[in-house]
Chains A and B, each alone.
Chain A
Amino acid sequence: MSLQASAAVQQANRWDGGVCPFGAGWRTVMLWWFIISDGLLFAGFLAAYGYARLSVSNWPDASQVFSLPFLTAMTVVLLASGATMTLAVEAARREEWSTCSTFILVTGLIGLAFLGLQAWEWRHLIADGARMNTNPWGAVAFGAYFFVITGFHGLHVFTGTVVLATAARRVWARRATAVGVEMVGLYWHFVEMVWVFIFTLFYLL
């Protein structure tokens, strides 16, 4: 630890410069802002969905469209990946790199499983007649919003698995830092959190 840094930390006011006021590095601050910005993309979609829903009267009843056991499976899978990701982050903090790398890999695999389930769900709904511009259950916008919102979330999960794969390789090669793994974890949990929103607002309500 360098001398200036310790002096800086000892300063009474964290906002006085020389140190990040939030007790976190620029990476963390930047990632949080990225998460906010990216989250607002979903907020845009979900607000539009809520708007569409309020402005039409024949929105399909979700429980008749989606198979709830299947949905539960998807949720369980994604939430489980959150736990393994946390374990990976903790392993990284303890510098147990091989454990960390294993957990990251497991998380990535669970992510892929989630994507597989989602693909299955899409196939099923498409077979039932759901399209971007039509669906057999009611308001036309339903199909469009369904594919766009879950599609974007799926895209984020996919990006997440790519990031996880990269991270696993770096950790395995001992080229990663605990902060780096934590960043990956933050992103992955964010994707998980977005699913909670989508699950409630789109599938349940």
Chain B
Amino acid sequence: MAQTTEQTTDMRHGSDAEHAHEPGFIRKYVFSFDHKVIGIQYIITGLLMALVGATLAMLIRLQLGWPDRVWPLLSQIFPKGYVSGVMTPEFYLAVVTMHGTIMVFFFMSYVLVSGFGNYLVPLQIGARDMAFPFLNMLSFWVGSISALLMISSFFVEGGAAAAGWTAYPPLSAVASAVPGSRNGQTVWLVSMAFFIASFTLSGLNIVATVFSERARGMSMWRMPLTVWSYFIASILGLLAFPALTAAAVMLILDRHTGTSFFIPIGLVVAGQHLSHTGGSPLLWQHLFWFLGHPEVYVLILPALGIACDVIPAFTRKPVFGYKLSVWCLIAVGALSMVVWGHHMFVSGMSPFTGEYFSVATLTITLPMTVFGVNMLASLWGGSIRLRVPMMFACAVLALFGSGGLGGLYLGNATADMQLTDTYFVVGHFHMMIGGVTLMATFGGLYYWYPKMFGRMMNEKLGTAHFWLTFTPFFVIFFMQHFLGIQGAPRRYYAFTAYDFLRETRLQNTIISSAAMVLISGQLLFLINFIWSLFKGRKAADNPWEATTLEWTTSSPPPHDNFGPHPLTVHRWAYEYGVPSDVGDYADQRVPKERVAVTA
């Protein structure tokens, strides 16, 4: 295969021309090709979206915690959403829908997958940049269009989409079903199409980069778990997202051209007989969850990967069971593609597939438990430095444990019958794709902030932020599990109409109070982030004494990451607890002769 070598040469040096001259401001910071700038752009966009999502969460919690209170101030801020100080149900549903959509797709996917993914993957595998920098930039700007579209849907006639982030038809397909289904839903679908395009471009880049751009010596078994998790998550994204694209196209057609992909015959909505015939709402659910379930792993695997890389740096010993962990990630990735039906146990699906999905889902328990045990055991016998990133990594571990245990209830068709569509589900997925990812995001930001901006974040503020984040977060979503056990259905505007839910009112007030603490606690992070940008202590190249490649270059790294000379990797990513001339660790570039390779 001589042709290979030609391509190899091409691949390693093809993009040099771009790096040769110093780009201007716009090329450097706006339409930048540099994966580090794009990563930071993604992170900041995602954090801004999180601000929106958190505000929406606050509105939800105000409504649920104190359903009888009147909020004159909110009436002034949201004149349409609050009529004489009382939230309207249509606004509530729009807020719920947008909170879910923004948090899942525009916060978690942006910050965790696209943001950290773009920033870290090339650095950690010793590449100069992503395989295709132009595509990377395109991905960010297409994604930005999608984010702007999504936000703008609040201002269209009828308000934002109100059918939940799952957008189940017919609610999302029939304009007269709910005000948000008039125009908001169309904007939602178009925005999602842009999002998928952006995410696909980003995913292609990550996959190709990990395949082809690894530095010499960076074998697959030497890659940090973060890179592994991004690699698998990107593959999952590439495989799962197209189904939603197809479904979104069909739903748009149902809404605007009178087709009936998802709308069955003989519906009477708001007194009007619809002319649609012959579709099936279940089809949407299948196509949606075919994406939706892998999507939660797309989010959670990077979170776990980040936690796995943070922990060794603060326990001073290698991760426990590295290879096994990688195989677990692969197994989870593969299994996650074939278990989506557990979201639909009571939908009227075939009982046989129900049984299959139940058993298959619980099979995921095995690799996930092994992974969790490996994470926990990574702390075992370590010399722990409890800095802020480490505290958040422990929080990841804790929430992953409780979220995983909650998964046993929901993957189990029998228990799911009582718990599905209740607050148990809300509690569970907030622990997992809310909490694990949020804690990993914070952990990752505190950890890599010095690398990104060359300054340390304030440790005291960070500690306070940890307490004000993890504790209320745990309380809120742990209690929500038990709201679900008491039977409280999700997506309720208020729990005032039912006698059997009377006892949940106090719990809801407690949850809402904790939510206010949680959200106000994030101000500390915001202050810390901005203050440290200008006033933070200057960071050394390797402030945490970590081993992965990004710490072997300067903080922040130069445009070409590692300088002009190709680098060579000599060892795996977790050479901690070995005697070397710099301390108890050896980074991946330290040659074999200087410190023995142990694993």
Footprint of B on A, CB under 8 Å?
1-2, 4-6, 8-9, 13, 15-30, 33-34, 36-45, 47-48, 51-52, 55-56, 132-133, 139-141, 143-144, 148, 152, 179
Contacts and interface: CB of A to CB of B under 8 A. Distances in A.
B132 A41 contact: no
A38 B238 CA distance: 9
Contacts, number: 172
A18 B215 contact: yes
A143 B260 CA distance: 10
B523 interface: no
B11 interface: yes
B131 to A, nearest CB: 4
A37 B259 contact: no
B8 A9 contact: yes
Interface in B118-167: 125-126, 131-132
A44 B287 contact: yes
A47 B245 CA distance: 13
A132 B259 contact: yes
Contacts of A143: 259
A140 B131 CA distance: 46
Contacts of B550: none
19 contacts: A9-B8, A13-B219, A15-B220, A16-B218, A17-B126, A17-B214, A30-B132, A33-B203, A33-B207, A34-B200, A37-B239, A40-B242, A42-B246, A44-B246, A47-B243, A48-B247, A55-B280, A144-B261, A179-B7
B351 interface: no
B5 A9 contact: yes
B6 interface: yes
B456 to A, nearest CB: 31
Nearest to B243: A44
A47 B282 CA distance: 13
A179 B250 CA distance: 36
Contacts of B290: 44
A1 B217 contact: no
A20 B253 contact: no
Contact of A25 (B8, B126, B241): B8
Nearest to B9: A5
Contacts of A22: 211
B593 interface: no
A47 B246 CA distance: 10
Contact of A17 (B205, B216, B259, B280): B216
B243 A17 contact: no
Contacts of B249: 148, 152
B566 interface: yes
Given A5-B5, A17-B569, A48 B283 contact: yes
Contact of B204 (A33, A42, A43): A33
Chain B facing A: main interface SS:
helix
Nearest to A10: B5
Contact of B10 (A16, A48, A179): A179
Interface in B207-261: 207-209, 211-220, 222, 235, 238-239, 241-247, 249-250, 253, 257-261
A141 B264 CA distance: 11
B205 A30 contact: yes
A44 B261 CA distance: 13
B217 A52 contact: no
Contact of B260 (A18, A42, A51, A144): A144
A19 B220 CA distance: 12
B238 A33 contact: yes
B259 to A, nearest CB: 4
Interface string B256-299: 01111100000000000001111110010011001000000000
A47 to B, nearest CB: 8
B380 to A, nearest CB: 30
Given A15-B220, A20-B212, A148-B250, A26 B278 contact: no
B4 interface: yes
A139 B278 contact: yes
A32 to B, nearest CB: 9
A48 B246 CA distance: 9
Contacts of B204: 30, 33-34, 37
Contacts of B242: 37-41, 43-44
Given A152-B249, A179-B7, 11 more contacts: A5-B8, A9-B8, A18-B218, A20-B212, A26-B132, A30-B204, A41-B245, A44-B243, A51-B280, A133-B275, A148-B250
B219 A16 contact: yes
B201 to A, nearest CB: 9
Contact of B217 (A16, A37, A42): A16
B208 A29 contact: yes
The 4 A-B pairs of least Cβ separation, nearest first, read A44-B246, A18-B216, A25-B7, A17-B218
Nearest to A40: B242
B8 A19 contact: yes
A51 B286 contact: yes
A51 B280 CA distance: 9
Interface in B172-218: 200, 203-205, 207-209, 211-218
Contacts of A42: 246
Contacts of A133: 257-260, 275-276
Contacts of A34: 200, 204
A22 B204 CA distance: 16
B11 A25 contact: yes
A152 B203 CA distance: 22
A9 B4 contact: yes
Interface string B572-586: 000000000000000
B77 interface: no
Contact of A51 (B12, B245, B283): B283
